[in-house]
């Protein structure tokens, strides 16, 4: 059977989670990951996601049952705690280590923060110091330098990238290169970004079909366009695409419109170039960062 990689799921009923882990193993999963970090209300109100960080004994017992039911590694993804007054991640990590998990992924915010504020490297470091198993840091890693800094300042074994890859899917290649050589790769040029964006659309279509694949891709185009320089016209057209022809026309029209911002060599004029990507963590001076859309308003309403 071909391995299906790593499954991540949430829940709070021990028997269901144990059976789900066994089912994933039977299907060929290489590992299973328990979601203890999701802050969304519908997940937390059933005892899953971040709510698992408020009941350490119950959570550890649930995990122990999952570990005992499978031969593949079981890992957990968590946050620092429910809120600033309840930073339970170090104690939960200890309990999970004793229950047999193979590793911990920790997002450096609390559930109350949602995706607001900044990631606490100190909080991640506290989790690293509490266990012997590998800890993987997560949160606001948008550049290779940010990944290296998180590893150095927290002692985590590695980093995982989420929203940062939405508009910069090259971050994985660039980070691996930077960690191995200490050299930063040049950012992809416009043509490479368009090539990857178009390939992404084709894979969307392969999976969902042409119309649905294109409609769903409407929200993806702005992620790529953030690094195109001026792109307002392309974004306007993007929300109307329903097939490949619409996409090709929107892209062709955009190429023509974009020429006004280029020099004689066809390069984007410096004054129109997007600002350099920077990773920003708690304690840093205020720096504007590109945002990926996330739920708005109080986290209780998500």
Instruction: Decide if 89 contacts 95 (C-beta within 8 A).
Output: no
Q: Give me the pLDDT at residue 208, please.
A: 97
For residue 2, pLDDT beyond 50? no
pTM value?
0.86
> Among residues 29, 34, 36, 43, which one has the least CA distance to residue 8?
34
Q: Give me the pLDDT at residue 166, please.
A: 87
3 state DSSP class of 191: helix
Q: What percent of the chain has pLDDT over 70?
A: 93
Give the pair of three-digit tokens for residue 124: 């991640």
For residue 301, pLDDT beyond 60? no
Q: Give me the pLDDT at residue 4, please.
A: 60
> Among residues 115, 60, 119, 113, which one has the least CA distance to residue 82?
113
For residue 294, pLDDT beyond 80? no
* Average pLDDT in the chain: 91
Question: Which CATH architecture best describes the domain 6-168?
Answer: Alpha-Beta Barrel (3.20)
Residues 107-138: tens digit of each pLDDT: 999 999 988 889 999 999 999 999 999 999 99
Q: Name which of 190-199, 208-217, 292-301 the model is least confident about.
A: 292-301
> Among residues 149, 164, 137, 108, which one has the least CA distance to residue 277?
164
Instruction: Decide if 117 contacts 153 (C-beta within 8 A).
Output: no
81: left (phi over 0), alpha (psi -120 to 50) or beta: left
Better pLDDT: 292 or 40: 40
Give the pair of three-digit tokens for residue 92: 């939960």
Where does the chain have alpha helices with state H? 14-27, 41-44, 56-69, 89-99, 121-130, 144-154, 171-181, 190-208, 210-217, 221-225, 232-238, 244-258
Instruction: Decide if 139 contacts 122 (C-beta within 8 A).
Output: no
Q: What percent of the chain has pLDDT over 90?
A: 81
Residues 146-186: tens digit of each pLDDT: 999 999 999 999 999 988 898 889 999 999 999 999 999 99
Q: Give me the pLDDT at residue 285, please.
A: 60
Q: Name which of 7-11, 30-34, 68-72, 84-88 the model is least confident about.
A: 7-11
Full strand arrangement of the beta sheet holding 135-138 = 6-9, 31-36, 74-78, 103-107, 135-138, 158-160
Residues 233-285: tens digit of each pLDDT: 999 999 999 999 999 999 999 999 999 999 999 999 999 999 888 888 877 76
How large is the average pLDDT for residues 42-48? 91
CATH number of 190-272: 1.10.1200
For residue 292, pLDDT beyond 50? yes
Q: Which residues are catalytic?
A: 38
3 state DSSP class of 34: strand
The phi and psi torsions of 137 (rounded to 5 degrees) equal -85, 155
Q: Give me the pLDDT at residue 280, please.
A: 81
Q: Give me the pLDDT at residue 284, please.
A: 76
Displacement of CA 115 from its chain's centroid (Å): 11
Residue 291 pLDDT class (50, 70, 90 cuts)? low
Q: Give me the pLDDT at residue 159, please.
A: 96
Concatenated DSSP letters for 43-90?
HHTTT-GGGGGG-HHHHHHHHHHHHHH-SS-EEEEE-S-SBTTB--HH
3 state DSSP class of 184: coil
Q: Name which of 154-158, 198-202, 298-302 the model is least confident about.
A: 298-302
Q: Give me the pLDDT at residue 107, please.
A: 97
Q: Give me the pLDDT at residue 295, please.
A: 54
Question: For residue 27, what are the CA distances in angstroms to 5, 7, 21, 32, 75?
Answer: 10, 11, 10, 12, 18
* Annotated domain spans of the chain: 6-168, 190-272
> Among residues 59, 145, 137, which one has the least CA distance to residue 101?
59
Give the pair of three-digit tokens for residue 93: 């990590």
């Amino acid at each position: 059977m071909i391995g299906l990689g790593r499954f991540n799921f949430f829940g709070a009923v021990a028997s269901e989670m144990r059976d789900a882990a066994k089912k994933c193993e039977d299907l060929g999963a290489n590992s299973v990951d328990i979601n203890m970090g999701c802050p969304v209300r519908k997940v937390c109100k059933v005892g899953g996601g971040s709510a698992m960080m408020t009941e350490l004994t119950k959570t550890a017992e649930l995990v122990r049952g999952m570990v005992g039911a499978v031969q593949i590694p079981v890992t957990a993804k968590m946050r620092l705690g429910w809120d600033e007054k309840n930073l339970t991640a170090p104690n939960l990590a200890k309990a999970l280590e004793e229950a047999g998990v193979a590793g911990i992924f920790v997002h450096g915010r609390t559930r109350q923060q949602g995706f607001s504020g900044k990631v606490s490297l100190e909080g991640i470091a506290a989790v690293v110091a509490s266990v012997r198993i590998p800890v993987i840091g997560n949160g606001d890693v948008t550049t290779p330098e940010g990944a290296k800094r998180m590893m150095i300042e927290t002692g985590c074994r590695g980093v995982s990238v989420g929203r940062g890859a939405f508009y910069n899917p090259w971050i994985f290649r660039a980070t691996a290169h930077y960690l191995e050589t200490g050299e930063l790769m040049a950012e992809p040029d416009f043509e490479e970004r368009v090539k990857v964006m178009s390939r992404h659309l084709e894979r969307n279509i392969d999976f969902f079909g042409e119309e649905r694949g294109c409609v769903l891709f409407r929200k993806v185009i702005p992620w790529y366009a953030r690094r195109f320089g001026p792109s307002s016209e392309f974004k306007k057209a993007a929300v109307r695409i329903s097939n490949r022809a619409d996409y090709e026309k929107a892209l062709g029209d955009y190429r023509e419109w974009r020429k006004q911002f280029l020099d004689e060599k066809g390069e984007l004029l410096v004054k129109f170039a997007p600002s350099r990507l920077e990773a920003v963590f708690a304690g840093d001076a205020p720096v504007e960062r590109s945002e990926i859309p996330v739920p708005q308003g109080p986290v209780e309403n998500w």
